[in-house]
Structure 1
């Protein structure tokens, strides 16, 4: 009896201790019966809702709920008791509680059940999350503010990029007139003094243009919009030799030995952006020549290590110049900074060069280092990893801006232009389209100095009227013009060619726009190549040799049909690439092209079916297959058109959540397909004319 009493006493003490523990919990705990009547509420519940215990016991728990939940609660309990199904039982849920003063409090609610004397009862554990919600709201507002700030910064960067591109266009347009006119003036008979004046003026113009390019490059790097254009390149031929050739005259004039060294372990070909790589090395060598008064400069290339499909290279430029102090070295990679004020006075410059080089190197995945000792010289090095040719297929080979040679380039063949009527009858008449009178006049005169007669039009509408005469064999068009711009003009011409089944007219974009995306837009619109303003006679001559070559010697006995076919060949087939595959065997050459044409026709039908059905993924896959085969046989026009389809398709996929829909192709992809059709027609036309004329003319002509 005493033992049982002791046990009961201990149980009472245990229950009291448990009640005290539950009362000490900061969370609110409430127990209700199967009718929703409150049977227990701990101290936390009383404090949370503002009621005394006696005000809660025996009352319906709905008093702690806002409407409409309060009126529905009894129905929730009845439904659960009947079906056993509940969305809240044993799960945490966010709800609102109703305090005695009528205010709402956000809660985390967990609901459990128990069985007592055969009756189901429920216990709710509730936690006030007011502070947590406040912090979450504050975090959300902060995130929104940061996102808005980022959006404003991105918009500012976009606005700055658009402003710079526009200013570049506006400045390059008059610079085209200035430099073009000076170049033409240099071709006339001048006294020594006059020639020196023209040369200095042209040099000043090029310096101004270089400064403009530096500012634009730096802004693109800052905005993260620098666009790399990868090509096949030989380090010796396309990089080292070209950089040294540029600086050799000045180095020789100063009596400085300029030499190079290339590690024999260097691979033959790499995939890189040769223009940007040369830009970095040009800066290194230019600074070395500028700051070296006597001695030597060496441009070296070392293979740091070779790995599968790539090599890690280090380019170094070592000079015996004035050197740079350690304190100044730390500042030189900041924009608009030079070693000291005396350096600026003595040697000039903007202080942008190394900042741009650092941005270019980082964009290419490389690093730049400097070692220098005052009075002994400086070594600048660039280290980066580049894919070797065997392991990479370069898909981003687009029309590139051409480097501008100096005035009176000795490799350019100058000749008198024939009368317009003669040029029209011989298939060499050029149409120039530009809304700027100076640009039109300069370009027409530059063409005349190379032996080409030309006429001009002021915009796309004017050009279409002139083109209707079918007198022109090449079109050079500005891209931004009133009434009808160059892109619309090109698309209109390509549509007309495809609809009427007529031969393809070579179209060259002639623009001052500064971004690589402008070149892509020109190609997608149906243009064949891209010429940057301001241009030089040498750059123009190089382009004309590809699309509308003139006979190099008057003794040629080639027939007119052979000339036309060879000109067509140059714009359709990369003969150098094809010769590497089949050599000079014309029969093997014809067989290869026939086999390609047969498989291409099958793929072209499948491509058309995908185009008609709007199956974008299939459309891009077939274009990729045709692109690969085209590159194998040197069908460069077809390959470029297929790359344009893939590029536009990828952009469309990025913008569309439902790329399988019938409208998934988009305008730019359809335009790229029309260009493909035009390229395919040009290839067909090339094959239909046969190889008879080519058999009578050397393939190397």
Structure 2
């Protein structure tokens, strides 16, 4: 309208206002189609369908070049067409999102894409053959198939006449291919990729006609082949329908799409199709094609008529309309107020001057003020104790309105007497003309978030400190290990060179031996530290005499002190004379560490060891152990560091050896015993360390126990059942027990042993712990259960295992075994255990010496000393044992290769354990180590099968090397 024509503007506005909402939507729907009007209405879905959408929120649609105007990409590479509008409506009603993937080729290629799961959805016609592979939704478009031929000079289609002997172009995989062949039996079918290729062949003269859907023919003729091609005739082979096709397994997607299509009214679907029809001017169009335009014109005419009627009734209805609008505004205002009040975050609104216009209930509760105290006031006018009284808040409001931008910041504030952190934001708002009218503000309480960040920062610092400590530990450990190793290797190299000249350098060997012992102690200390920190180091308290323990340690260090011209003084109180319950080895370790340090850091003077006791309860003794020296002493600052692993002081003052682990281990052991270790020292004056322990006093033993030599022990003849799945192990145990004068029966697994145990009484069962069919633990449990059920006396069960872990031994004892021994077991140890379990003629208790600790050496191929001792040096019996071992090894090799091929790691671990037990008999350390690695790899959840296979190859090579050496042994 002209700017000054206000009367006409008022009349038009009044007429538009008189039209009700339903009529306006009807007019809009006629012009733009209801499919383009957004709606939030969702269709009802089953729980299964909703879960399917949650798992597959994006559905991939594949299209080819044959679907225009159904589905195509326009010149701007935007997905367009009937399917585009239809999928938009389905997306709004179901929540699905569609991703369109263009694909060159025809329908067979699309089916292949669906089968390979490169896409989830396609558009094609339904046929019985396709239904064998796909599911189809209800159709959303139906049209006819037509014959397209070349056009004459006037743009009309040339009559195809009889198609006998002519060429008909048709897309490959067409659903009506067979019907077209039957209708035109004499015609030659030319298969092409898509419908556009078929029309191109007709245009180029390489085909006489093409069979394509009507909607596709109209679209391409108008856009690409105007006055060159035309529709000649209908092909009566049924309707060309368009469906969504999905895989057979996506029944939920088919159901969802069917429901969505059913929810779209026929009018809406017709509007979508009409919108993508070809533009006017194409051949064969009638007034029916313009029915949408005619309908829209009639709707406009009706709207103008309503405008005229509205002008007549405008004045009368104006009051009622205004009243309804005011009521609606009032309802809307109350709704906004209720919505704001129920929101948890504090929210408030200020005008351009910073005065409060509105706030919610959460704001008033947070600041502790009433509505009257804050409304129509600026921040500066609020009470002083309110957090907003800071001037920067008011300046922030004005800055946000002046610059027209959001301001967000984090502030520490006091709310309700507590320090809180808030994330405060200020958002300007504008009126309809774009003028800023104030700010909307609020905040979120992020106190817990800040606390979490602080905790994470602290945890990160602790982790970084732990990582640095680990790095320092590894670096120090590497240095401490390399130092004695350098001495061992260097001295032994010199000894070897001198041995070549016929000289034996005893002093060099003694130096190497001392360095190796130092290395062994270091490794033991490191393992102790690891066990202490992991909580796996345990004490074994037994009867011990404190006086004897202290005197034995003093005797050990007496010679070392004498070498340094030091006086070693031992003072033992008379109260320290009885037996106590104590882990003697760990107590001696504590005292040895303290005395060793005292001698090491003292150049002149004396070292005093003093121990006394005080009876605090009838059966409880308070023990005070003191080690005092006149050495160099330790400064107060260095004392704080000494109880850290590998910590040492005064390295520049003393040429001392050591790892810095002794004090750490000693203090940890004292704490584990319920005591404490205290250090007091002064630089240059010496050091004193006090150990306090509370120990249980034991009743004295009246009769002294003496050790009985093995030769004088007489055991009664026993009936023994030996159970082992490895033939060599069974034979060796058989020979050992027979040598000791006992009768032996053998069984190769737990089930066979259980059957033998049922048939005859046995005094003892000696069983391997790891066996197929039934393990040794299962055998022990079965025997114990039957003994309880039948009320029988329990038979003695001894387990044998190659696994020296305490957990494995504990599992065997828990299963019902009397004892579990570690392979290999010698004659002396076996006889000792039999006597210790009570199988002796006399009743004298037996003292069993502890086995010596073996110093690790390089893995040996084998050692037949134990077999020579067992067979008494008889060659025939030795050779029979070795032949049995070779036969067993060959069978194990075959089993190993089969298990590796089948990748059965569980049975591989069992096989490795069994081979390891047999290898220990001949002390085949290389094979034992290879089996241990294979067993660890099989039982590790993180090990790959490639590593398992590599370990299996190592076992195979070790078996072959052992067999080759044993064959040479047999032939010698």
TM-score range for the pair, normalised by the shorter chain length: 0.3 to 0.5
TM-score normalised over the length of structure 1: 0.40
- Higher-Rg member (1/2): 2
TM-score under structure 2 normalisation?
0.30
The structure with higher relative contact order (CA 8 Å, sep 6+) is 1
Which of the pair is proportionally richer in helix? 1
